[in-house]
Amino acid sequence: MALVTLGLSHHRAPVEARDRLSFTHADLPSALTRLRALPGVDEAAILSTCNRTEIMAVAPPDHETRLLEWWRRERAVPEGYIERYLYTHRDLGSVTHSLRVAAGLDSLIVGEPQILGQMKQSYSVASEVRAVGPVLTRLFQHAFAVAKLVRSQTQVGAHPVSVAYAAVQMARRIFSDLHQQTALLIGAGETMQLVGRHLRQHGVGRIVVANRSLERAEKLARELHGYAISLSDLPAYLADADLVVSSTAARGLIIERSTMQRALQSRRRKPVFMIDLAVPRDIDPRIAELEDIYLYSIDDLRDVITQNMKLREEAARQAEVLVRTQAEEFARWLESRDAGATIQAIRARARASRDEVLEKARRRLAAGEPPEAVLAFVADTLSNKILHAPSRVLRRADAVEQAMLLNAARRLFELPEE
């Protein structure tokens, strides 16, 4: 069995591709159940965020094509579409990648903490549907511990840098004074909590929180000293919004072009700054064509993010050293786990040989053979049985393979070097 990760991320895949190939939180339980049901897949997990979608599996090495075909069918994309953006990691590479992701070293903004919570959520869902087993469970737990270690031993998370922070920085470029502006936040998840806190810190005039669940909107609005509405009331509040930030898990568009056109009619040429942080998108991209609208997607935040990443480069280098060390430690555990299974098989075969020889010895004793002769029989027969298979393999091996096997045999039996 191999540990394999198939994925795509913001590094190579545009937002449109990430849209098409992502899984919503509601999709995950059923998708994981189908993935785990594939022949040969012992364990599985799916991590799907606005910036990446990854399939992790414990499966035979030749099953990567099968996993890829499953992903293609699930998202109904043509053959060859995923391969344009795909990366593949195996065994130690897969472990290292997972630890880097958990520590925020592979994120759009290096060191951002959100991905750790998203990984924990993915692991929780996979556990609930019993898609993970001993290997992935240990890998996730190890990744969580390493992420904590990275944050405690480096400065990679010391600066307030995140997608939410970058969004607010961009808003401050458009509006020199946020005190006079009304912000409409669509969604009540972790991203919108961070956006709201940053806006509050920079003194935004008014915050309105819209969410499908009014209860969750009210909870976030209380924290931000704002006002809560349901998504159905959104059109009535769009005209008052100077800044619109959206991040939901909805499959369809939240704000259509026609809805925004009606809102603009009563704004009298006052500009609207809109940021769509959702994947799939919440805001119709065609809204960018309207006058007085400044619409940005998550990919447009790259310039702001690039500047902030410089603050973390040295800390990230230190974190990479920690990650490599911890990945190698996990790989050693994987190897010892494989060795343990082999050792058990060897012991089981030795016990079976022992029991067979002892039974023959009892029959010889019962037939009246001298004990000394029976003991000699036991010693000779047992030695021959244990050494028969290794000796046969050594004799049949070619010169190169024989040299490798002889070296391994000397180590296993602690023989002196020739």
Q: What string of DSSP letters covers 132-152?
A: --HHHHHHHHHHHHHHHHHHH
Confidence at residue 58, expressed as pLDDT on a 0 to 100 scale:
93
Average pLDDT of the residues in 363-374: 87
Q: pLDDT band for position 341 (50/70/90)?
A: low
The answer to whether 397 is a known ligand-binding residue is: no
Global pTM reads 0.59
What is the tens place of the pLDDT at every residue in 173-215?
888 788 999 999 999 988 899 899 989 988 999 999 999 999 9
Select the more confidently predicted residue: 210 or 318. Answer: 210
Confidence at residue 71, expressed as pLDDT on a 0 to 100 scale:
97
Query: For residue 396, how many C-alpha atoms fall within 13 Å in the half-sphere facing its CB?
Result: 6
Q: Beta-carbon neighbour count of residue 81 at 10 Å?
A: 15
Q: Does residue 158 surpass a pLDDT of 80?
A: no
The answer to whether 189 is a known ligand-binding residue is: yes
Q: Does residue 1 surpass a pLDDT of 80?
A: no
The single residue of 50, 136, 170, 210 carrying the catalytic annotation is 50
DSSP 60-111: -GGGHHHHHHHHHHHHT--TTTGGGT-EEEETHHHHHHHHHHHTTTTSSSTT
The answer to whether 113 is a known ligand-binding residue is: yes
The answer to whether 340 is a known ligand-binding residue is: no
What is the tens place of the pLDDT at every residue in 23-64?
999 999 999 999 999 999 999 999 999 899 999 999 988 889
> Is 50 one of the catalytic residues?
yes
What is the tens place of the pLDDT at every residue in 213-260?
999 999 999 999 999 999 999 999 999 999 999 999 888 899 999 999
Average pLDDT of the residues in 2-18: 93
The answer to whether 50 is a known ligand-binding residue is: yes
Among 58, 85, 82, which residue's Cα sits nearest to residue 71? Answer: 82
The answer to whether 7 is a known ligand-binding residue is: no
The answer to whether 114 is a known ligand-binding residue is: yes
Q: Does residue 374 surpass a pLDDT of 90?
A: no
User: If you search the block for the tokens 């990760």, which residue do you land on?
Assistant: 5
Q: pLDDT band for position 159 (50/70/90)?
A: low
